[in-house]
Amino acid sequence: MDMDHSSMTSNSTSSSMGPMMLSYLHIRVANYAGDYVLFKAWRPHTGGQIAGAAIGLLFFAILERALGAFRHRLTTRWQDACVVHDDHSVDEKGGHVAPKQPIPPFHLAHDFTRGLLYGIHALFGYVLMLNIMSFQVAYIIAICGGLGIGEMIFGRLGTAHAAC
């Protein structure tokens, strides 16, 4: 098997690569076709289109925090339903013993739902990460702002004891 690579030229490899993405922080560069937002067809290049994509990413980031709080609330509710509260547990010396926290039993509806929600939540995080990696400053600001707003709105719902 002769592996002759001399027929490959730099012109044939560079033309097949397509448009390159900018690997530095940028807002909008003249003569640049724009950054992809998840799909090949979604490539905003005007200021208005970039603003629209940033607003969409802002709401997507808020939704990611809402999903995280919802997951936590469901998990807490399921755990509370499995805990055995026995206030009459007494040890050999007459002292009270704290109830043991058993591992909750497998419950198909709960565990399937928990796994599905975790997968969706992870997908949301990866979608946001991929958009951050476009180095488009408007997207980064929108995503960070959306996560902050979402945490302000839903963060107290996703904690065991809300601070007053």
The whole-model pTM stands at: 0.73
**Choice between 90 and 51, residue whose per-residue pLDDT is larger:** 51
Whether residue 64 lies inside any domain: the answer is: yes
pLDDT at 115: 95
Task: Give the structural domain span for 52.
Answer: 45-83+104-164
Whether residue 142 lies inside any domain: the answer is: yes
Range with the lowest mean pLDDT among 4-8, 35-39, 115-119, 127-131?
4-8
Spatial neighbors of 32 by CB under 8 A, at least 6 apart, are: 22, 26, 45
Sign of CA dihedral 116, 120, 125, 129: positive
Whether residue 91 lies inside any domain: the answer is: no
**Paired tokens of 134:** 């476009």
| Structure confidence by residue, pLDDT tens digits, 69-106 | 999 999 888 887 776 555 555 556 666 665 565 677 88
- Calculate mean pLDDT across residues 9-22: 54
Structural domain count of the chain: 1
Whether residue 73 lies inside any domain: the answer is: yes
- Calculate mean pLDDT across residues 139-162: 88
pLDDT at 94: 62
Whether residue 57 lies inside any domain: the answer is: yes
